[in-house]
A and B are shown apart, each in its own frame.
Chain A
């Protein structure tokens, strides 16, 4: 059901930028890309979303390629508290969210 593919796991050094890739090659023109994260079995937490343009908020930046077939979530200065599973989601035209398997990010001291 998920329209996205992500690496299973990644490591990042504390203080460095974490770049999490996502492929969504079958995305349609008006389908949004959303990012959520889940810290240690807590409820998922919204991070950011976008359609075509790059987006930035207090948590992260979202870079979407021009053809919209992939995107990258950037955490500019990763901290230990950013260790979590990060989900890249395409919100389909019916407004449903399909979560994939996500990327388990480990921030290393």
Chain B
């Protein structure tokens, strides 16, 4: 069974479009995260949700909006995509905030 899954795995889109990436965890964890890994492989935290409440927003542009319909899901919606949004986005979860994180396989977003 896949612990943390993301869809889609690859996403290619035009500048200005709106897109969503979905994340699901079946570990029963309370906290979920979104990370962005740029072309230089630098991994940066974007958001964290604990029990469906946002607890971190690391100065991410408001074009990015996380949505958590329930504890097992944390989706990332991106409006008006820009070239600089091209990156690999990783979802992760942990049993509690600050605990060991389990990462998904990543979604490679390419904005043309």
Contact = CB atoms under 8 A, between A and B. Distances in A.
A87 B104 CA distance: 17
B68 to A, nearest CB: 18
Interface size class of B (residues with CB under 8 A): 20 to 34
B1 to A, nearest CB: 16
Q: Which of A34, A41, A45, A97 has the most B CB atoms < 10 Å from its CB?
A: A97
Contact of B45 (A41, A42, A97): A97
Contacts, number: 44
A20 interface: no
Contacts of A101: 41-42
B90 interface: yes
A85 B42 CA distance: 11
Given A38-B43, A46-B102, A99-B35, 19 more contacts: A34-B100, A41-B106, A42-B106, A43-B4, A43-B90, A43-B106, A44-B101, A44-B103, A46-B101, A85-B41, A87-B43, A91-B98, A95-B98, A96-B45, A96-B48, A96-B56, A99-B44, A101-B41, A101-B42
